[in-house]
Structure 1
Amino acid sequence: MVLAYAIIVLIISALLLRRDLSALGQISYRGGWITMLLIIGLFFLQSALVIYVSGQTLWQVVILNVSQLALVLLFLLNHHVPGAKLFAFGIALNALVMLANGGWMPLTPETYHFVHPDRPIVEQTRPSSSKNILLPRSETNLWILSDIIPVTLPWRRTAVSLGDIVLVAGVAQLIFQATAKKKDKLLVSQV
């Protein structure tokens, strides 16, 4: 969800800086609409069968992780697009920690309490409407890659991972490099 907020802030920033957002529509993507529709379908399944359905079934883990893998492959296929490599790396970091912890993104009870101070904490369970699993830090594999960074927004609290931060950097690179003016693009390509 923080990624969606970051995208909105980045687009507003680009508009305030008078960037040409129509340039985003002129980027050529490999895989085309068929690939995009497949990924949208995977995320629909992810929402319908994973995030908004309680439990920790094998099918939920498979759907969640296949959608992550599909995104990594899509962005590697489109490595020429600004930000695609960062985006693929961020998703890979998130997928790595999830796979190392049974297919779910680990969240410590302390961080969960920060995000939801009014909800009860039950370790080894998956909170409703999330792809997290509550694990103590000592039982979390690759803890440094899990949702450990607390974020307070004016309207809610959340936690993000290092992979999420890399994803935001990838989106920022896409928006600002793709919408750069001609002379700015020349400077970026010379670096």
Structure 2
Amino acid sequence: MSHAIAVADITGLILAGGRGSRMGGVDKGLQPWRGQPLARQVLQRLRPQVGTVLLNANRHVEVYRGWGLPVLTDAAPDEFSGPLAGFLAGLQACVTPYLLTAPCDSPLLPTDLAARLGAALMESSARIALPRAGGRLQPVFCLMEASLRDDLGAFLQSGGRKIEHWTAQHPTAIVDFDDTHAFENINTPDDLQRLDADVSP
């Protein structure tokens, strides 16, 4: 019996809706790294793993639309309510059984992320699957059942903001990954330089 989730049953969502405050307020997804914007690097790694890709952004929407992606804004884009607001926008637009999120500032995300999270979710009868690397949970990379949209909406309405507080309310599978660089996110210009020095082209 196969425990795989079909690629076509997963919608990918790139999260590019944050303030980028530690990056000086710039749009992190559009910051160049190795010749391309960070979010485009994420797109290239995520696209083969999913049936379709959406992008959540609250700024520079037309730039992202120019990449040929549907762009979703948060319900209250001026509030920058955090990743869960992006999750909800993705879930509300998702027409597949599953949604897989990835931040726009992690250009080295695993190329087998969807497959491994999907297998763990199916094997454990969970509703959510999260990766762990270097002993740390990576909750912004989240595979979830699309049917959780109303539940997440209610959680946000109640004032909830932390991903871990929401996922803890549901059966969750945890998958260990060896490559900690795969989940590094870029918060400052120094992070960009450090990642470039640490990782071979």
User: Larger radius of gyration, structure 1 or 2?
Assistant: 1
Q: Tell me which protein shows more strand as a share of its residues.
A: 2
TM-score under structure 1 length normalisation? 0.32
TM-score under structure 2 length normalisation? 0.31
Q: Tell me which protein shows more helix as a share of its residues.
A: 1
